């Protein structure tokens, strides 16, 4: 192709690109990937881990909750910016970094994906918690008097099979557009729900006082066992906001949303202006994600601390979501129990769906990078996704039925691993990507400083928590 025909083709391609939407309303209408990230976090972090830690430690870890949500904003923006500007998947971006490679694949990607297998324990916990919730609503197994515990276990096992079957069917033909619509609705409903709950609790004996609130902003453990509190802090860092897994998965949702396609290539006319416009959309997307996650998490933590702390009630077992419904029944009244359980089911189930879909994309991206799945072959990609999703769901079911009787512990363990290993490893890689993004649309000096501050704060929290844990 000669230069003239090449330029003509470039102009034609650029003309088909979707321009960044003008104004805040147009921008809000164009966001979506961050909402999917929010939906994938809320089910395990906000709904289960946060109230459990609030029940154990009261208000003193409020600082860790807020910090865990907001501190990853710049990390999420920069991994998203790099994916948008260069139209790269996470593995493509990692492969461009210096360091050891095997079959052209950076060591960071496979290590992260293999480590994420342990973090997937959180999804096993979510599966078991979802099944326990459904058993509360519709028991599938009854037995003779005196065998209620055995009957409950069988009923929950059966619900695990059903939930996995439905998940398999939905994921078999699911698309990003479908996922985004469902998650947006669920996140909106549950965000409003927790805000209303926090407002209504102020009119009850469980109201949150200013003294309790500010006592949680002192960056201390409030006299609690440092070893246990340090474990909780690392778990919260790995559970709340955009966790290591969600940060890694964010570029997939960006690319499937079409941001990278609309940006185009650097040799097209107007590329710089168009790219900067879509970066602004991405920043708003991440801001909305961070704000929703922070608001929802803060609400669950404060309600959980107000209702459960000091009650000596252990939140565990298959019926943990039923126990958590007390956050609402103790404020709204008994009428709200089924409403909460229905909303909790939607949140947990959506997290299971999004999490499984995202893990499949990570593995398939790695297989493409290693040359085991053909690149730019949509049929092979779809088959790979379906295969990995099937393996994950089968593994979730086996573990949930035979070894997953404590869903809260599974969730907290998975998120502890994420906070200890996944997030720190990925944030180093994100810094490498950020400073290799095309200099014409790279982050500014202020953003660079704030990015490094985020890294230092997260690393500092992990190091200090590990020190206190080992010394406690």
SS3 of 102, please?
Answer: strand
Question: Taking a C-beta distance cutoff of 8 angstroms, is the pair 88, 82 a contact?
Answer: yes
Question: Taking a C-beta distance cutoff of 8 angstroms, is the pair 105, 367 a contact?
Answer: no
Q: Which of 224, 245, 205 is nearest to 415 (CA)?
A: 245
Say which residue, 276 or 46, is predicted with more confidence: 276
- The whole-model pTM stands at 0.83
Task: Look at 231-235, 254-258, 397-401 and tell me which has the smallest mean pLDDT.
Answer: 231-235
pLDDT-based confidence at 331, cuts 50/70/90? low
Distance, CA of 242 to CA of 68 (rounded, Å): 9
Task: Look at 30-34, 202-206, 443-447 and tell me which has the smallest mean pLDDT.
Answer: 202-206
DSSP class of 4: H
The predicted model gives 209-216 an average pLDDT of: 87
Q: What are phi and psi of 122, to 5 degrees?
A: -60, -40
Distance, CA of 76 to CA of 87 (rounded, Å): 16
Question: Taking a C-beta distance cutoff of 8 angstroms, is the pair 302, 48 a contact?
Answer: no
Distance, CA of 176 to CA of 32 (rounded, Å): 10
Torsion of CA 383, 41, 47, 350, to 10 degrees: -30
SS3 of 106, please?
Answer: strand
Going by DSSP bridges, is the β-strand pair 101-102/105-106 parallel, antiparallel, or unpaired?
A: antiparallel
- Please provide the average confidence, as pLDDT, over all residues in the chain: 81
Q: Return the pLDDT at 321.
A: 62
* pLDDT tens readout for residues 144-172: 555 677 777 788 889 999 999 998 988 88
* pLDDT tens readout for residues 406-450: 666 776 777 677 777 777 888 889 999 999 999 999 999 999 999
Measured in residues, the chain has a length of: 472
Distance, CA of 64 to CA of 38 (rounded, Å): 18
Q: Return the pLDDT at 11.
A: 47
List the domains of the chain with CATH numbers: 18-471 (1.20.1740)
Q: Which residue has the tokens 């909750």?
A: 65
Q: Return the pLDDT at 41.
A: 73
Q: Which of 356, 418, 449 is nearest to 78 (CA)?
A: 449
Q: Which residue has the tokens 């960056």?
A: 219
Say which residue, 377 or 38, is predicted with more confidence: 377
Q: Return the pLDDT at 12.
A: 46
Q: What secondary structure, in 3-state letters, does 160-208 show?
A: HHHHHHHHHHHHHCCCHHHHHHHHHHHHHHHHHHHHHHHHHHCCCCCCC
Whether the pLDDT of residue 220 is over 90: the answer is: no
Distance, CA of 415 to CA of 423 (rounded, Å): 10
Classify the C-alpha dihedral 127-133-138-144 as positive or negative.
positive
Q: Which of 461, 441, 425 is nearest to 75 (CA)?
A: 425
Q: Which helix (H) or strand (E) holds 101?
A: strand 101-102
Q: Return the pLDDT at 330.
A: 61
How large a percentage of the chain has pLDDT more than 70?
83
How large a percentage of the chain has pLDDT more than 90?
27
Say which residue, 183 or 378, is predicted with more confidence: 378
Q: Return the pLDDT at 37.
A: 84
Question: Taking a C-beta distance cutoff of 8 angstroms, is the pair 318, 126 a contact?
Answer: no
Distance, CA of 146 to CA of 51 (rounded, Å): 31
Q: Return the pLDDT at 36.
A: 86
Q: Return the pLDDT at 91.
A: 95
The contacts of residue 428 (CB under 8 Å, 6+ apart) are: 455
Residue 312, judged by CB atoms within 10 A of its CB (0-12, 13-18, 19+), counts as exposed
Question: Taking a C-beta distance cutoff of 8 angstroms, is the pair 160, 393 a contact?
Answer: no
The gap from C-alpha 451 to its chain's centroid, in whole angstroms, comes to 20
Whether the pLDDT of residue 108 is over 80: the answer is: yes
Q: Which helix (H) or strand (E) holds 42?
A: none
The predicted model gives 10-17 an average pLDDT of: 57
Beta-carbon-side half-sphere exposure of residue 321 (alpha carbons within 13 Å): 34
Q: Which residue has the tokens 């065998």?
A: 147
Q: Which helix (H) or strand (E) holds 151?
A: helix 148-172
Whether the pLDDT of residue 370 is over 90: the answer is: yes
The gap from C-alpha 79 to its chain's centroid, in whole angstroms, comes to 15
């Amino acid at each position: 192709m000669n230069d003239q025909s090449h330029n003509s083709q470039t102009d034609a391609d650029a003309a088909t690109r979707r321009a960044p939407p003008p104004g805040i309303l147009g921008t809000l209408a164009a966001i979506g990937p961050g909402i999917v990230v929010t939906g994938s976090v809320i089910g395990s972090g906000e709904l289960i881990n946060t109230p459990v830690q609030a029940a154990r430690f009261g208000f003193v870890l409020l600082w860790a909750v807020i910090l865990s949500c907001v501190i990853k904003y710049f990390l999420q923006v920069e991994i998203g910016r790099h994916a948008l500007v260069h139209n790269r998947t996470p593995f493509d971006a990692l492969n461009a970094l210096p360091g050891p490679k095997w079959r052209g694949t950076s060591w960071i990607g496979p290590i992260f994906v293999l480590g994420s297998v342990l973090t997937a324990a959180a999804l096993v916990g979510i599966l078991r918690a979802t099944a326990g919730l459904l058993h509360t609503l519709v028991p599938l197994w009854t037995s003779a008097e005196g065998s209620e515990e055995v009957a409950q276990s069988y009923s929950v096992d059966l619900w695990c099979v059903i939930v996995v079957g439905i998940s398999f069917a939905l994921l078999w033909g699911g698309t990003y557009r479908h996922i985004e619509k469902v998650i947006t609705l669920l996140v909106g409903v549950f965000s409003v729900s927790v805000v209303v709950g926090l407002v209504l609790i102020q009119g009850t004996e469980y109201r949150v006082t200013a003294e309790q609130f500010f006592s949680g902003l002192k960056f201390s453990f409030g006299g609690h066992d440092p070893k246990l509190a340090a474990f909780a802090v690392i778990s919260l860092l790995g559970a709340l906001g955009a966790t290591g897994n969600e940060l890694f998965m964010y570029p997939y949702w960006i690319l499937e949303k079409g941001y990278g396609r609309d940006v185009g290539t650097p040799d097209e006319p107007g590329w710089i202006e168009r790219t900067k416009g879509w970066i602004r959309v991405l920043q708003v997307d991440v801001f909305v994600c961070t704000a929703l996650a922070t608001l929802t998490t803060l609400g669950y933590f404060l309600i959980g601390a107000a209702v459960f702390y000091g009650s000596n009630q252990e939140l565990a077992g298959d019926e943990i979501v039923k126990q958590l419904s007390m956050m609402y029944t103790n404020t709204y009244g008994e009428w709200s129990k089924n409403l909460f359980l229905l909303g909790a089911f939607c949140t947990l189930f959506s997290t299971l769906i999004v999490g499984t879909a995202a893990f499949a994309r990570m593995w398939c991206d790695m297989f493409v990078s290693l040359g085991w799945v053909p690149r730019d072959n949509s049929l092979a990609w779809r088959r790979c996704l379906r295969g990995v999703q099937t393996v994950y769901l089968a593994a979730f079911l086996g573990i949930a039925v035979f070894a997953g009787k404590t869903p809260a512990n599974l969730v907290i363990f998975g998120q502890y691993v994420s906070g200890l290993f996944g997030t720190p490893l990925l944030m180093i890689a994100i810094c490498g990507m950020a400073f290799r993004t095309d200099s014409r649309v790279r982050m500014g000096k202020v953003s660079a400083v704030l990015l490094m501050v985020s890294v230092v704060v997260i690393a500092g929290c992990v190091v200090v928590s590990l020190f206190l844990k080992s010394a406690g």
